[in-house]
Amino acid sequence: MKKIQWSKFSLIILATILLWLKTYIVYKTSFEIKIENWKQELILLLNPLSFLLFIFGIGLFLKERRQKHFLLISSFIISAVLFANVVFYRFFNDFLTIPVLFQASNMSDLGSSVNELLNWSDWIYFADFAILVLIVFLKPAFAAYRPVSKMYRRAYFLAAAAIAFFNLAVAETERPQLLTRTFDREILVKNIGTYNYHIYDLFLQSKSSAQRALADGSELADIANYVAADYKKPDEEMFGIAKDKNVILISMESTQDFVINETVNGQEITPFLNDFIKESYYFENFYHQTAQGKTSDSEFLLDTSLFPLSRGAVFFTHSNNKYHATPEILKDQGYFTASLHANNKSFWNRDIMYQAFGYDRFYSLPDYQVSNKNSVGWGLKDIDFFEQSVHHLKEMPTPFYAKFITLTNHFPFDLGEEDQFIEPYHSADKTVNNYIQTVRYQDEALKIFIERLKDEGLYEDSIIILYGDHYGISENHNEAMSEFLGKKVTPFVSTQLQKVPLIIHIPGREGKVISKVSGQIDLKPTILHLLGIETKGSIEFGSDLFVKDKMDFTVLRDGSFITKNYVYTKGICYEKETEKPIDKSACEPYMEKAKNELEYSDKIIYGDLLRFYEESNPES
């Protein structure tokens, strides 16, 4: 048998090695991928190789000129995909998915956020491509075209296939049922690689598109039985306590619970909220459950009591679905329903999704007077937003259901000196420092807004619900957060940082702190029960927060879950009291429930199963 002459593959092999090594370096320097043993390190090193060998191997079938063009173009595109993941990861601590790419219409509004995420040194992510270009044009002898026989091509692809199967085999020993039982993209990237992960993501996207066409009402019946078994009868004292009152919902952008009752330089970060809590119901163990859709995901949870998807934003990918949402339900009860947000109506596809939810009116950018003077960061400052929104409230028919979406406390947390109400926090992390300032500004805006509601006679006739929509400080800022909290940010602490404030103010009721573990998915049944609207028979995964025997349980979109005594995240079970890992068996009784709820919710969305709801519930 002839010895294989690898010189015949020189440019292809060089392109593969350069991009392979670059990818591994990026894994180690730009992503926070947890490695626990030598086997995982080996998998991480190997996982880009088979994909690159297959892609660049296509060049073996091309003639000289086309081969060089193909290699250069492929190298650039793959580098661009890797770099896009790096930029996305810098803020979201997550990897891109195909549905996220459908959200490209949002890019025009990202502005300063994207600029903040880019560095002058980012050219290094394309250094291997530059080397290839220089070799092709300055060292053509090295990149000389060498035709190869079928035998050589066969040997090449057999080697690529062997590496791929070896990678999968080792990965399967580390993570059994890797491709069927995971909600964690980090685990996928760690085991099959960034590029293979995107191919898998394409498969998932195709699969989800087919699910709607193949779905039927029988699947909904199974889910309805599961939900019915978990239904809890509303608390008699709280059911209907706010009947016919207005509902004012305020989505507090990027607001995490750690700022509540916290000080910086002896000054309260949220002085108004700290006082407002004393005369309201405050849920101190309330978690956001959003994924890549962020604020839109929180809206989805609020209005549907379904989980958002782990990939992309439901607002984009499934806006034509049938939903049984809160605005639609309240319209049937005589409510006027509206959302108020001083941004483009198409951002997060809200103009389309709000129609599916049944909103009567969306007050968007054209409904506000916006100028350079009253704007910062993403747009209209919160104080001005609330002031102008009061006029819209006064014009609404009553009772109304009005949702406010704030903007100022948004990454990169820009704020002018004239709007800074607290002395700066000083750390080495600009993002954390700025975040404290914008949270304090938001708090002031809320104070002024509540005072205006009182002045306009709207306060006493309304229940006011304030909730954090998602995290503001990602895991990329763990070092500064460790300094702020005075303890290391472990996976346990990181999960606890997913708590967001939930404050429900009901006129005439005394304040109370409620410690039940809960999440955004619980808001819909809670609101409807307060208004005296029964939810029995509805397809939803939340529970009324005022039910006395509500289970202490909430599941996050990545599969992590929290109970009264335990936190389960990244495959580790932690005891809350000690904050230390314990035997996984303590968390096992809750694993099936967490898995079922996420999978059932996904089935509803992918299959558009609620279109069968009216057929199975003719009286609804």
Q: Active-site residues: which are they?
A: 295
Q: Measured between alpha carbons, how far is residue 478 from residues 44, 287, 571 in Å?
A: 23, 19, 20
| Dihedral (CA of 298, 304, 309, 315) sign | negative
Residue 229's Cβ-count burial label (10 Å; 0-12, 13-18, 19+) is exposed
> Crossing angle for the helix pair 127-138 and 64-92, nearest 10 degrees?
160
**Contact indicator for 453, 248 with CB cutoff of 8 Å:** yes
DSSP state of 507: T
Measured CA to CA, the distance from residue 300 to residue 602 in angstroms comes to 13
Name the DSSP class of 499: B
Q: How far apart are CA 426 and CA 430, in angstroms?
A: 8
Structure tokens at 116: 């903040």
Half-sphere CA count of 61, side-chain side, radius 13 A: 7
Residue matched to tokens 């006679």: 457
Residue 105 DSSP one-character state: G
Place of tokens 């947390």: 413
The CA angle 256-258-264, to the nearest 5 degrees, is 115
Distances in Å between the Cα of 469 and the Cα atoms of 254, 274, 295, 448, 521 are 6, 18, 6, 21, 12
d(C-alpha 575, C-alpha 492), whole Å:
9
- Phi, psi of 464, deg, nearest 5: -120, 125
Q: Which residues pair with 436 in a beta bridge?
A: none
* SS3 of 188-230: HHHHHCHHHHHHHHHHHHHHHHHHHHHCCHHHHHHHHHHHHHH
